[in-house]
Structure 1
Amino acid sequence: MVEVRAAAPEYRTVSGTVIPFREVTLSAQTAGRVVELTGAEGDRFEQDELLARISDDRLLAQRRAAMSEMRVAEAAINEARMQYGREMISPQSRSLGQMPGMGMPSMFDQMFTRPMGQFMGFGDPSLDRHTDLYSRYVGVDQAQARWEQARARVEELDAAIRETRSEAPFDGLLMRKHVEPGDTVQPGHPLVTFGYVDYLRIEAQVPVRLVAAFSEGDVVPARLDAGGTVQARVSRIFPMADPRRHTVTVQFDLPRGVSGGPGMHVSVGLPSADSAPGHALIPQSALIPGGALPRVAVVDGEGQSRIRAVRLGAVRDGEVVVTSGLEPGEYVLLQGERQRPSHAPATPGASGYHHPPATPGLAPGAQM
């Protein structure tokens, strides 16, 4: 009779790559020629420091033209406001200069001719005044709209000029340069790759069958090519699997200050599905041959043996993993010990458990 032991964790090794904790690729936002590229690969930069710059001569010329349009629009606003104010104080519809003649004839026209024409249906001075005021107001509004349009153009060009400068988004390391000074780029062309390397991660493609054996937050061993084995924490398990390779992308956080850097190879030990917590380990000789399901003879606390069906996992050097049906700490009978009656207790001796001889005339129990 042997005691059921807990199955020791069994690890499968997968290959991974060290990556920065954060990594961004800065791309060109405007067309132009690269005029400045500060630093070399491996140099450290603080946040907002200049990394690359594209020529902005064309944008500066366009901005000067837009500023001129803005000044013209400001002058048009002032003129339109002045015309509107004059219409408010001295309506054009009541101006003496609108009627022919001068002196007494013009006054006669204002006093008698215009009222008589209005009475006969040939004009409406109040409607004329309202129309003139509205026309002057529209002139002010249109001039204001042209000024706002010119200002928006200036702001657009200012944003484009700022985008000619690629600055560090955070403290980190210049990892790769994709261009050199003098290169001509178009929008979307990568300039530099920048990463935060104070903390490092591992990214590995893990077979789907191994993913179920661990979860986020678990700690697993990892061995870097730079030397030494460290403990890595599972930080992220991607929800989708690669349909062609049948693997899942998993990221692991490395401790701060580990040797090595981004791009290095690393081996990660992952528990297999057969070594999950709670699995038991028994000798293969404890299995009862025959039958549709694997069975073992389990000895209870009173020394009685009972048949129990179990579910098996992997086989390791003459021992087999039991995934369900047994708990560590229980006792099972081996192949040569399953001939005694089921009700005959097993008594522990000085060197282990011994079985008492069968009593003559006692009906034998079920054969194990």
Structure 2
Amino acid sequence: MPEIPRIVAVAVMMMAGGIGGPTMAAEYRTATVTTTEVGHTSTVGGTVVPYKEVNLSAQIPGQVTFIAGAEGDSFTSGAPLIRIDDAQIQAQRRSALAQITNAEASLRNAQVQYSREMWSPRSNTPNAMPGMGMPNMFDQFFTRGFSNMIGRSDTGLERYADWYAQGAGVQQAQGALMQATAQLEQLDAKLRDAQLVAPFDGMIVKKIVEVGDTVQPGQPLLQFAHTTYLRIQADVPVRLVTGLEKGMLLPARLDAGGIEIKARVAQIYPMADRTRHTVTVKFDLPKGVPGGPGMYAEVQIPDTTEPAREIPVLPEQAVVWRGSLPNVFVLRDGLPSLRVVRVGSALGGGFVSVLSGVSPGDQVVIDPPPGLVSGVR
């Protein structure tokens, strides 16, 4: 285990003009570089992606008349985002309403004619001209009856034919009404498609069109994403996927300021890419991490195919950043010596692994003062 930091006193005697000159003393908090056994890990690069993201496309042709905002604007679920001109669809809808009115009138007329045929068959009421009552009565009682007897006509069949024709008229009117109603529903669906709404709480991350642009069905309009929670999406080599389990916490490093955090394995895709031989894995990031979608990130993934190894360990307070490079002060014969190191992952408890630059047993300075210079007490 890493050694607890201790105090080393280095006394420096400076003589000026004889014995008894002034004395300067410098004290350094130091710790010994130790080793610890860690498994082999591999660094896999990935991209920060939103928790959810959708591409909203046009469903109808027309001109864009409204866009709710710009990139970065947030909206709640159901809020309108884009509208497309629907004047032509509105005109078609009014025409469909007129067709429904006509179809309803035709249906009522057909039902009346059907009822009339049921209760007052036309086969029993031949058309009569004014003033021809007696001849028509004679024809109904004698001529039509005699025709039925000799097979020249069939009153029952004629009545059935008239009744069937009126029933068919009712069915046709009902079909016309259903067709007009379906056309109205289709137009209402197009009107709904003329306005795109937010499918969930989120923000516009990319706006592809502007107000006044003419769009066609299927044309992308904007990208909408839920960015309150972020993920890292990485293509992990197949040999490393065997060491991953859903829910594992792994060290990750974000490109924004080089921040190191813990990422949780959220999703492991069931299929590997047949050409690259990698598996897509998504890692959940803590809420409120800096940066945003599209940012580069790295994840340390354990490699179970390699044996564990001993690596140097030192306190995090011993690492000094000079520019973009990590350094430590190592004591040699009481003098601090600045060394560039390659820092590995955090081990917890305030310690960090070092991949190169120091050796086990080296004494490193903890929290070196700002003015400390290599080779000078």
TM-score (norm 1): 0.71
Residue 74 (structure 1) aligned with residue 104 (structure 2): yes
What is the aligned partner in structure 2 of residue 156 from structure 1?
186
| Secondary structure class of the residue paired with 1:273 | coil
**Residue in 2 that maps onto 1:115:** 145
Show the counterpart of 1:229: 260
Aligned equivalent of 2:282: 251
Secondary structure of the residue aligned to 1:215 is coil
* Aligned counterpart for 1:27 among listed residues 33, 57, 60: 57
| 2:294 aligned residue | 263
Contact 1:99 1:109 in 2 (8 A): no
CA offset digits 1:320-354 (Å, max 9, x no partner): xxxxxxxxxxxxxxxxxxxxxxxxxxxxxxxxxxx
Does the CA-based 8 Å contact 1:96-1:107 persist in structure 2?
Answer: no
Task: Note the alpha carbon deviations across 1:34-67, whole angstroms, 9 max, x for none.
Answer: 1111111001000110111111111111111111
8 Å contact from structure 1 (residues 100, 106) kept in 2: no
Of residues 77, 90, 94 in structure 1, which corresponds to 2:124?
A: 94
1:158 corresponds to which letter in structure 2? D
Whether the aligned pair in 1 keeps the contact of 2:128 and 2:136 (CA below 8 Å) is: no
Q: In the superposition, relative to structure 1, how do residues 50 and 143 fare at CA in structure 2: closer, same or farther (>3 Å)?
A: same
Aligned to 1:59: 89
Rounded Cα–Cα distance in structure 2 between residues aligned with 1:86 and 1:247:
77
Letter in 1 for 2:237: P
State the AA in 1 paired with 2:280. Answer: T
CA distance in 1, matches of 2:45, 2:308: 29
Q: 1:98 to 1:242 in 2, by over 3 A?
A: same
Counterpart AA for 1:129: R
Q: Deviations over 1:221-279 (max 9, x none)?
A: 0111223211111111222222333322111011122222111111111111345xxx5
Post-superposition CA distance 1:88-123 (Å, at most 9, x none): 222100114269982322212212111111111111
SS where residue 209 of structure 1 aligns? helix
| Residues 55 and 164 in structure 1, CA contact (< 8 A), matched pair in contact too | yes
Question: What is the 5 A alignment of 1:1-368?
Answer: 7-97=37-127, 102-227=132-257, 228-275=259-306
The C-alpha deviation readout for 1:139-191, integer Å capped at 9, x for no partner, is 01101100110010000000001101010001111111111111111111011
Distance 1:101 1:120, change over 3 A: farther
Contact residue 239 and residue 305 of structure 2 kept, 8 A? no
Does the residue aligned with 2:244 lie in a helix, a strand or coil? coil
How many residue pairs get aligned? The number is 275
Which residue identity is paired with 1:165?
A: Q
Q: TM-score, normalised by structure 2?
A: 0.69
Cα distance, 1:212 vs structure 2: 1.9
Supply the distance in 1 between the matched residues of 2:36 and 2:138 (Cα, whole angstroms). 121
Deviation at 1:81, TM superposition (A): 1.1
Partner of residue 342, structure 2 = none
> 1:281 & 1:171 partners in 2: Cα distance?
47
- Cα distance in 2 between the residues matched to 1:97 and 1:173: 75
- How many Å apart are 1:208 and its aligned residue? 2.1
C-alpha distance in 2, partners of 1:154/1:280? 70
Q: Which has more strand, going by share of residues?
A: 2
Report if the CA contact (8 A) 1:206-1:247 is conserved.
yes
Report the identity percentage.
51
Q: Could you tell me how far 1:69 is from its partner in structure 2?
A: 1.2
Residue 280 to residue 231, structure 1, CA distance change in 2 (3 Å): closer
Name the residue aligned to 2:23.
none
Aligned residues of 2:76 and 2:198 also touching (Cα < 8 A): yes
How many Å separate the matches in 1 of 2:128 and 2:152?
15
Q: Runs of 5+ in structure 1 lacking a partner? A: 283-368
8 A Cα contact 1:6 1:280, kept in partner: no
Contact map agreement 1:54 1:164 (CA 8 A) in 2: yes
For 1:107 and 1:19, the matched residues in 2 are separated by: 91
Q: Within 2, Cα distance between the matches of 1:137 and 1:272?
A: 79
Give the aligned residue type for 2:301.
Answer: L
